[in-house]
Amino acid sequence: MMYVMIKGKPAKSTKIFNLSVEGYDLPDLMVRWLGEILYLFEGEHKLVTGVDVNAVSHSRVDATLETVSFNANLHEILCEIKAVTFHQIEVVKKDNRWEARIIFDL
């Protein structure tokens, strides 16, 4: 799950960040989840390098994220996402896994 396509070496120092998000239903939860991660880049200048989902329900997700600080000397932005949208969003459980389709505003 990546909101900004980055080319470059990963930073050496990582920080752990706990993220809990609530939504009205699965599509709303997905948009809010992705929006929070997008905010980490836009507002906090953090890149998410790893995600460990601790719990998921139809209205909440709790996860631990591994982040690094964005460094223009190490990272090159290839494509930046402007917004997470509800346009044609789909979140479904198939067999024992979840699948999602989401369209981003570039």
Q: What is the pLDDT along the chain (106 residues), one digit of tens a residue?
A: 334 556 665 666 788 989 999 999 999 999 999 999 999 988 999 988 889 999 989 899 999 999 988 888 888 888 888 888 889 999 888 898 888 999 888 8
Distance CA 17, CA 82 (A): 23
**pLDDT given at position 23:** 95
Distance CA 65, CA 85 (A): 22
pTM of the model: 0.81
Give the domain range for residue 27. Answer: 4-79
Domain assignment of residue 97, yes or no: no
**pLDDT given at position 3:** 41
Distance CA 41, CA 48 (A): 8
**pLDDT given at position 98:** 82
**pLDDT given at position 32:** 94
**pLDDT given at position 73:** 82
Amino acid at 19: L
Pairing label, strands 60-69, 46-56: antiparallel
Domain assignment of residue 56, yes or no: yes
Domain assignment of residue 92, yes or no: no
**pLDDT given at position 83:** 87
Triad 47, 50, 53: Cα angle to 5°? 125
Domain assignment of residue 102, yes or no: no
Count the alpha carbons within 13 Å of 30 in the hemisphere toward its beta carbon: 19
- Sequence-distant (6+) residues with CB within 8 A of 49 are 10, 14, 66, 67, 68
Domain assignment of residue 10, yes or no: yes
How many structural domains is the chain composed of? 1
